Amino acid sequence: MITLFTICAVAGTTIMVCQIALTLFALDADSADIGEIGDDLEMGDELVDHDHGSTAFFGILSFRSLVAAMAFFGLAGLGFSESSLSGILVLGIAMFAGFLAMLLVAWIMKFLHGLKSEGNVRIENCLGKTGTVYLSIPGDTGGIGKVTVPVQNRTMEYSAITSRDDIPTGAPVLIVGISGEGILEVVPEPLIGGSGNAS
């Protein structure tokens, strides 16, 4: 049993250290072919969207999570092997430690994947949202101002124009369109819902 724990601990820890080193040296998935090995073996991202009863289980499986499970299985087994606990109990503790490590790594990877997915803010997602004027906007599309808009869990700043009257700094506005490259078309918030000044 100790031999099994030792093999798992050494192999798992070695692979984990290599993965960390590759990431630190920018050789991971997005910047080098060698890093793609780990991503190619990740099953979680491909299976998580499938409507199978086993999706929840397979969603936590990936190359990284399995390596973490193997490493902590071995380390926990070695750690408790010197205790007075029975071999079956030590094996159970080692398996539990490996399972927890797998869950933790799966959660971390899901979190990081979510950050990556939200990394590129699309200006189209501003449509219909309410923003705040950061730099006053001249009326009748006579100039460009600035607005801040909460989008994709961020507060983004964009150039903005309006066909209405001048909109002062700090005023709430509704994004109604996109003009040119990265320029939002806005109207004052009070005009929403059919004001007498709306055209």
Spans of all domains in the chain? 2-117, 123-190
Q: What is the pTM of this model?
A: 0.47
Asked if 177 and 184 count as a contact pair (C-beta separation under 8 A), the reply is yes
pLDDT at 190: 65
Q: Give the CATH H-level superfamily of domain 123-190.
A: Nucleic acid-binding proteins (2.40.50.140)
Mean pLDDT of 55-71: 73
pLDDT at 145: 94
Which amino acid, residue 187?
Answer: V
8-state DSSP, 123: G
pLDDT at 195: 42
pLDDT at 36: 38
- According to DSSP, the residues that pair with 179 across neighbouring strands are 183
